[in-house]
Amino acid sequence: MREKLKDIRTLSIDSLRDFFIQNKFQSYRGDQVYEWIWKKGIHDFNQMSNLSKELRNLLINNFKINHVDIDFFKKSNDGTIKNSVKLHDGLFVESVLIPSKKRSTACVSSQVGCSLNCKFCATSKIKRLRNLNMDEIFDQVILMDKQSRTNFNRSISNIVFMGMGEPLMNYKNMIAAIKKITQYRKFGISSRRITISTSGIPKMIMKLADEDFNFKLALSLHSANQSTREKIMPFTKNFPISDLLESLNYWYTKTNRIITLEYIVWDNINDKLSDINDLINFCKKIPSKVNLIQYNSIGDDYFKGANIEIINKYQSELLKHGVNSTFRRSRGLDIDAACGQLANK
């Protein structure tokens, strides 16, 4: 019978107020319930201690709270924790908690599977089954905050939308989740500590720029040559680099925040001097910094990470032209928790 009950987290605060009025209670009871759900992250009506038993039973008889749970987790030698997150309908996604000396970063998923088809990413091998609901994104952050407090004695400090799925293809729920996350009082994280990573949907990047948030933008570029990009990310046939640059310039004009360009270098794909020059020319057209990323194998022989000499060549040439770059080594590689490896394994 409880399966037929309405999930209370689908209601707005005004709908909650109306529910209590219709049941002969004062409207402020809706505010109390809303606070328990969204500002305290409670999933059990019986834990709402400032409500009478009568009110708690009213909620129990009319609503349920669908929520996610950690089915199991793996801990890497470097401290990274990968979670298998079970959704209310039995589907799974993965989330990753990444600790450093002073910070804990929560890497969250936005889709079950992915809408796109990047050939080097394990998630793209999974058919997109559905978008995550706003509360399912919110719950991942709450769970990882508890994990961080338990394992590292601190709350999460940063959130990155770099898990499973393309966040801009679940735009409405992603934005709604960010609103709830930034209101959540236990860690009071601001939007400037949130990074949204996209494979590049120009129209949605421009829409994102119009939001009243201070989040950061990261673009999975991997090649500034249209032909090469289409080979490794086939969906980009519909999104030429000229359109991408236009959207990134719109982002910078609206936000005054530089873009991080995520870039993996592979043997015989984008390891030539011409590839480096294409990237330099791209960077000259938009205020940006380059994050060179270690390739994390997904068992495809076509993709082989370039050697360190090529990475160093990229960095020296970028620096020569005034482009800041870093080389990011993978975290959680031994538990398939690194960038591009999330595939419900």
- For the annotated catalytic residues, the residue numbers are 94, 339
Domains and CATH numbers, the chain: 2-64 (1.10.150.530), 69-335 (3.20.20.70)
Q: What is the 3-state secondary structure (H, E, C) of the chain?
A: CHHHCEEHHHCCHHHHHHHHHHCCCCCHHHHHHHHHHHCCCCCCHHHCCCCCHHHHHHHHHHEECCCCEEEEEEECCCCCEEEEEECCCCCEEEEEEEECCCCEEEECCCEECECCCCCCCHHHHCECCEECCHHHHHHHHHHHHHHHHHHHCCCCCEEEECCCCCHHHHHHHHHHHHHHHHHCCCCCCCHHHEEEEECCCHHHHHHHHCCCCCCEEEEECCCCCHHHHHHHCHHHHHCCHHHHHHHHHHHHHHHCCCEEEEEECECCCCCCHHHHHHHHHHHHCCCEEEEEECCCCCCCCCCCECCHHHHHHHHHHHHHCCCCEEEECCCCHHHCCCCCCCCCC
What local confidence, expressed as pLDDT, does residue 4 receive? Answer: 84
Q: Write out the chain's pLDDT in tens, 345 residues.
A: 556 899 999 999 999 999 999 999 999 999 999 999 998 889 999 999 999 999 999 999 999 999 999 999 999 988 999 999 999 999 999 999 999 988 999 999 999 999 899 998 888 888 889 999 999 999 999 999 999 999 999 999 999 999 999 999 999 999 999 999 988 766 678 999 999 999 999 999 999 999 999 999 999 999 999 999 999 999 999 999 999 999 999 999 999 999 999 999 999 999 999 999 999 999 999 999 999 998 877 777 889 989 999 999 999 999 999 999 999 877 776 766 556 556 666
What local confidence, expressed as pLDDT, does residue 139 receive? Answer: 95
Q: What's the pTM value of the predicted model, to 2 decimals? A: 0.92
What local confidence, expressed as pLDDT, does residue 265 receive? Answer: 95
